[in-house]
Structure 1
Amino acid sequence: MDALTFGTPRLARHLMAPSSQNKDILEIQLDRVLEELDVSQEQFIDLCILCGCDFCGRIAGVGPTTALKLMKEHGTIEEVVKHLEKKASKTIPDPYPFKEARELFKSMDVLTGEQLPELKWGNVDEEQLVKFLVGEKSFSEDRIRKTIGKLKAAHGRSTQGRLESFFGPVTVKPATKRKEPPTKGTAKAVKKGKLGAVGKKPK
């Protein structure tokens, strides 16, 4: 969902959900979200930070409904924090780097296709990956190591299948010839031996 906070115009959810879950694909349009919530993109970013994000702690007791109400009343997260600091029932996390989090959402570190080096699949350098994601990007080390384990297990398996493989094989049953009901009196005639099996008089 944080793709919307980064500014993606459309978000598709449940695209690859298992068929057993019977979930419809949900398309979310950012402009409609902002219109329905009656906030700007900048306020939407502040709203998402208030609800909790990967870059910043969460204020206890402030969920989506309260966060939206506070954002509409005070306009920015700075003013919301000032308001909440006056309430003894609300404790602001320390540290609470909402400004840095906001800047990450507004000015994400992105490389264009031309800037990317040639990518080759090789063995996972576990310690370097942990150093980068945990040390520099503040991810959970336990979560990263579990994901690395999955990558190692997947290495060497078959390549990605074709799109139709997700939907299973299509089987077509052969058409069966519909039996015509016997005409009146035919069944009795066959039983008495007056008619053959194909409905004709035996010679």
Structure 2
Amino acid sequence: MGVKGLNALIKDHSPGAIKEFQLKNLFGRKIAIDASMCLYQYLIAVRQGDGQNLTNDKGEITSHLSGMFYRTLRMVENGIKPVYVFDGKPPVLKGGELEKRYLRKEEAIKKMEDAKEEGSAEDILKFEKRMVRVSREHNDEAKKLLELMGIPYINAPCEAEAQCAELARGGKVFAAASEDMDTICYSPPYLLRHLTFSEARKIPIDQIDCKTAIEGFEMDKKTFIDLCILLGCDYCETIKGVGPVTAFKLIKEHGSIDNIVKFINDNPDKTKYKLPENWPYEEARELFLNPDITPCSELSFKWKEPDLEGMIEFMVNDKGFSEDRVKSGYEKLKKGLKTGVQGRLDGFFKVVPKKEDDKKRKAKDTKTNGKKKARK
């Protein structure tokens, strides 16, 4: 789910933190990608003309594989080296959110059955998309495909976006890529959004400078995390009646959730806000401050030569993909994943700040003038 309303707040209070790019602008970058989020997107977006998931002759869904294959190819063609990170075991606190999702799925199933009786194709498709869930089989098939493509992946011990942020902080990759705005709470240098969108050619990629975003709010990391919890995250409920604007206002006035809770409890007649019962905001804060991750120092990965025979066996013979397209994809991977990919220009040259440049020039002039006077 991410954090509700955070993107809009950043645009309002830290507009300089967000820059828009095209895929080609990320040439030469290594990027850690939230794989579970990608698969969910693909299962929803990659569909046939009638709105149904892609399937093979055996009726097996292949939308997730199609999305993973072609989106990864597009990145590699543009000089990007992706590493995918898969979710591990969810935190105990996330159980409530998962239960809500299950109930919404059950409700969607019932409504879809009603829509079938009424013959509304549009409603059927709408409720069908609400039922989408990424299964263990989807994950396993995606991992097998990535192995055959020569693309590395990592199994996170817990939340994928937290592990992506760790890889970026540790310098293993340039940025973390996810649609979940709560990734910023884990402090990667940069968060990339829309990188794996099916409409990537139309929708620009947002690059969010996480440090600049938080500084624009005039908050430290802990206060920013409190704001995100107030806005709404996967770990606990929000305060009833508190939307994004009010959440920002309350944090700025009181400085922390602890103080907000005290204010509400001490002034029941002066405020309309109602705290959730047994609200575990402190535990949620701790999950953001100290997430369960594998340290960068314990991780290594590399991009390998793709396996053409394996790709044909799995993608063509088993999953029903076009052999010509798979072979074409193999050639693109082979070319794009060669070791020693040309680096970015900003990796070769150091830009000297103007002030420093001026100081050096003045020092040189002074030295030159001194020599002239000495000669006289």
For the residues of structure 2 that align with 1:36 and 1:7, how far apart are their CA atoms? 15
In the alignment, which of 32, 39, 42 is matched to residue 219 of structure 2?
A: 39
In the alignment, the residues of structure 1 paired with residue 185 and residue 235 of structure 2 have an alpha-carbon distance, to the nearest angstrom, of 13
Match of 2:235 among 49, 55, 61: 55
**Mapped contact 2:251–2:260 kept (Cα < 8 A):** yes
1:106 aligned partner: 289
CA pair 62-164 structure 1, distance change in 2 beyond 3 A: farther
Q: CA deviation at 1:115?
A: 5.3
**Normalised TM-score (structure 2):** 0.31
Distance apart, 1:34 and its partner CA? 1.3
CA distance in 1, matches of 2:297, 2:217: 37
Question: AA paired with 2:220?
Answer: S
Confirm whether residue 76 of structure 1 aligns to residue 256 of structure 2.
yes
User: What amino acid sits opposite 1:111 in the alignment?
Assistant: T
How much has 1:81 moved relative to structure 2?
A: 1.3
Structure whose residues are more often helix by fraction: 2
TM-score (norm 1): 0.55
Aligned residues: 127
Larger Rg: 1
2:206 alignment partner in structure 1: 26
State the secondary structure of the residue aligned to 1:27: strand
Distance across 2 between alignment mates of 1:65 and 1:162: 49
Distance 1:24 1:3 in 2: 19
Structure 2 residues without counterparts, runs of 5 or longer = 1-180, 300-317, 334-376
Q: Say if 2:194 and 2:204, in contact at 8 Å, map to a contact too.
A: yes
For 1:40, give the aligned amino acid.
D
- What is residue 276 of structure 2 aligned with on the other side? 93
Alpha-carbon RMSD across the aligned residues, in angstroms, is 3.0
Aligned: 1:67 with 2:247:
yes
Q: Secondary structure at the match of 2:227?
A: helix
1:6 counterpart = 2:186: yes
Distance 1:20 1:5 in 2: 25
Residue 21 of structure 1: CA displacement?
7.6
Percent identity over the alignment is 38
Residues of 1 paired with 2:227 and 2:214: CA distance?
11
Q: Is the 8 A contact 2:194 2:200 kept in 1?
A: no
Ranked by relative contact order (alpha carbons within 8 Å, sequence separation 6 or more), the top structure is 2
Q: For residues 25 and 81 of structure 1, what CA distance do their matches in structure 2 show?
A: 38
Partner amino acid for 1:90? Y
Q: 1:61 to 1:18 in 2, by over 3 A?
A: same
The structural deviation recorded for 1:75 is 0.8
- Name the aligned partner's letter for residue 71 of structure 1: I
Give the structure with the higher percent strand: 2
What's the CA shift string for 1:33-64, capped at 9, x where partnerless? 11211111111000000111111111121122
The answer to whether the 8 A contact 2:186-2:289 is kept is: yes
Q: 1: distance between equivalents of 2:212 and 2:331?
A: 31
Offset of residue 19 of structure 1: 2.6
For residues 162 and 60 of structure 1, the distance between their equivalents in structure 2, rounded to whole angstroms, comes to 52
Change (3 A) 1:20 1:13: closer
Aligned to 2:277, what secondary structure does the other structure show? coil
